[in-house]
Amino acid sequence: MIKKGVALPHQLSWSHIVELLPLKDIHAIKYYIYICEKQNIGYRELHERIKANEYERIGYKEELEEPKVNTLIKNPIIIKTKNIPNKLTEYALHQLILEDMDNFLKELGMGFAYIGHEVKIKIGSNYHYIDFLLFNIKYNCYVVLEIKIGKMQPNYIGQVLNYMKYTDKNIKESFHKETIGVILCKKDNKFVLEYCTNYKIFTTTFKLTNKS
C-alpha cells in the first residue's frame, strides 16, 4: 500500500494510483512512479508492467534517481510470441525478437533504439556479424547485443568485447560515450559472471511466453 512520504506527481491519474495502491514495497512504488514520469506511460501499460513483475526483474532495488544503464536491464527479458518453437535456434530467436522489436526494446530497458540486425563488420581479414546493434538515447552510447540460446560461456565475453572495440573505433562519434555490450542467454553462469566479466558488458536471460 502507498505509504506516507511517497510523493505522487500531479500528472498521475487516479487510474495510475489505483494500480499502485496494492503495492507494499516503497521502492517498487517509487520505481513505477519514475517510469510513469520518464516514459509517459498510461495506466493500462502500468498495469501490464506491474503484472509482469518488472521491478523485481531489474537490478536496481534502492532509491531511484538517475540509475545506470545496467540497473535497468531486466532479468529475465520476457519475449512474447504467438508460437513458441519446439526447437529453439539462434536464428529462430532472432526472428521472434524482430517480430516485435518495440516490445523487446521496452523489455530491455529505458532509452534503447534499434539500429540494425546482423550488422556486417570486418576485423582483420575476417567478417563478423553483430546480432543487434542498438543505441541508448538516455546514456548516449551504442549497444552491442549478442543472443545465445544456451548457458553463458566465457568466450562470449571476448566476442562481444571485440565487437564493442570495433564499434568504438569505426561507428561511434567523438561525442558518444563508450559502447556497452549485452549478452542475452538462456541461462546464467555464476562463475563467468563473477570472474570473467567486463564492467561494460552486462548479461541477462530470456524467457519465451505466449502472447495473450
Quickly list DSSP for 57-85.
GSS--S--SS--GGGGS-SSEEEEESS--
Note the pLDDT tens digit of each residue in 26-38: 888 888 888 888 7
Note the pLDDT tens digit of each residue in 151-165: 888 889 889 999 999
- DSSP secondary structure letter of residue 56: G
Note the pLDDT tens digit of each residue in 89-109: 999 999 999 999 998 998 888
Q: Which position has the higher pLDDT, 137 or 130?
A: 130
pLDDT surpasses 90 at 62: no
Q: Is 27 exposed, middle or buried (0-12, 13-18, 19+ CB in 10 A)?
A: middle
- Look at the alpha carbons of 29, 64, 187, 180 in this order and tell me if their dihedral is positive or negative: positive
Note the pLDDT tens digit of each residue in 168-210: 999 999 999 999 999 999 887 766 655 555 678 888 899 898 8
